[in-house]
Amino acid sequence: MKDGKSTKDISLMQVWPVRIPRPYKQKLSPSKALVTGQRILDTFFPVAQGGTACVPGPFGSGKTVIQHQLAKWANAEIVVYIGCGERGNEMTDVLLEFPKLIDPRSKEPLMKRTVLIANTSNMPVAAREASVYTGITIAEYFRDMGMGVALMADSTSRWAEAMREISGRLEEMPGEEGYPAYLGARISSFYERAGKVICLGSDKREGTLSVIGAVSPPGGDLSDPVVQATLRVVKVFWSLEDKLAAMRHFPAISWLNSYSLYADSLETFFTDTVDPSFVKNQKTAMRILQNEAELQEIVRLVGVDALSERDQLALEVSRSIREDFLHQNAFHDVDTYTTLKKQHILLKIILHFYERTKESLSQGISIETIKSMKVRNKIARAKYIPEQELSKIETIAAEIDAELASLSSKEIKTGA
């Protein structure tokens, strides 16, 4: 210090009623993606920093695994994880695992940026409400410092059930399915506390608070009042399906039912930070997946042989997008996190394969020959190639071209 006095640590305390949102100067519209490293989320259904998302799904479909993945890998400076009325061992997992994981940005243990609010299923129901509100207020406190904060709540259904029980005991007039009439209002006021804001103060610092809530409707029924009330406020919907979970396709997020209303506003972000063709490729891949649903309907009715070779190729490519791109193992060292750059390259390779094989089909190479190409194995294994060796994935494009060239010269010879 200037006057020679030594510095002294002081601790600060703020008191704030948790049900009241903390004030800010101005709300801005979100413009950057919350990068999660989960391919289906970042590429197809991105959530913005300062945005809201919900993950509804039946029991065992992977809600908790997704929330844990976001807590581990989302590019936020602070993560607030609320375990609301769920199993205690899941909180223990976080507590044991996070100190061992290193945050790639700060190079410090992940635990240092994480706030855990543990409210397990054996605690009194009134505490569930307290856990949700405490969590979001702590998150706002860090947002007010100008930080990027991400909040995960697993599961908001347990909070809603607590509201139902308390309202029943207060003998209030019940609404839909016995939930209180103010269920929707409470849920929206919770999610509305998310956002990108200019904080109070003269330095105009910007803070973001993203909120991602899991919802566990009984039987995975999306008409459940908690799901419906949540969908009315959030902008991103990641729909978990038990059919996909049963097939061990994880993350079991339906690519046909999910949506992100941030896709348009994040277009410039992806174009600038990843690649100008990122959004175009994503749209092409989505069209292929949607087309697959229609083609499968025909296959169910009349069999795969009734399809033209072009349609059979389309089916093969959509299978490749599902298995080689969307499928992501949260427990694999490399696969657990994929950078945007790698996501872009992986999808680009699959689409390159499609473009080139479409040409080969029209030059008379049979669909069977294409299906048995050796390079397909490489495409399938590409996601396990570490980030440091991205060039190895990029060379697969040249290998596709080379194998197709050798195939066409062979077919010409046999034809002659």
Residue numbers at the binding site for ligand ATP (CB under 6 A): 57, 59-65, 86, 216, 250-251, 328-331
> Which of Mg ion, ligand ATP, none does residue 329 bind (CB under 5 to 8 Å by kind)?
ligand ATP
Separation between Cα atoms, residue 70 and residue 63, nearest integer Å: 11
Contacts of 294 (CB under 8 A, 6+ apart): none
- Closest residue by Cα to residue 135 from 120, 155, 116, 162: 116
Nearer to Mg ion, 64 or 357 (CB): 64
Rounded to the nearest whole angstrom, what is the least distance from the CB of residue 321 to ligand ATP in the complex?
Answer: 17
CB of 216 to Mg ion, least distance (A): 7
Q: Which two tokens stand for residue 314?
A: 């389309």
Q: In angstroms, rounded to a whole number, what is the distance separating the alpha carbons of residues 415 and 397? A: 27
Taking the complex as a whole, the smallest distance from the CB of residue 86 to Mg ion amounts, in Å, to 5
Q: Identify which range of 56-64, 261-269, 279-287, 310-318 contacts Mg ion by CB under 5 A.
A: 56-64
Which of the choices Mg ion, ligand ATP, none does residue 36 contact, using the CB cut-off of 5 to 8 A by kind? none
End-to-end CA distance of the chain: 89
CB-wise, 85 or 148, nearer to Mg ion? 85
30, interface contact from Mg ion, ligand ATP, none, CB < 5-8 Å by kind: none
Using the minimum distance from each CB to ligand ATP, give the nearer residue, 262 or 337: 337
Q: How far apart are CA 371 and CA 201, in angstroms?
A: 62
Nearer CB in complex with ligand ATP: 30/62: 62
* 64 is a contact residue toward Mg ion (CB under 5 A): yes
Single out the segment in contact with Mg ion by CB under 5 A; choices: 57-65, 168-176, 245-253, 378-386.
Answer: 57-65
Residue range at the interface with Mg ion (CB under 5 A); choices 40-48, 59-67, 165-173, 297-305: 59-67
Q: Which stretch binds Mg ion (CB under 5 A): 61-69, 119-127, 371-379, 390-398?
A: 61-69
Specify the residue, 189 or 329, whose C-beta has the smaller distance to ligand ATP: 329
CB 198 within 8 A of CB 24: yes
Q: Of 46 and 251, which CB lies nearer to Mg ion in the complex structure?
A: 251
Check: CB of residue 45 under 8 Å from CB of residue 239: no
The minimum distance between CB 148 and ligand ATP, in angstroms, equals: 24
Residue 286 binds which of Mg ion, ligand ATP, none (CB < 5-8 A, kind-dependent): none
Q: Which is nearer to ligand ATP, 237 or 269 (CB)?
A: 237
Give the nearest distance from C-beta 58 to ligand ATP in angstroms.
7
Positions that interact with Mg ion (CB under 5 A): 63-64
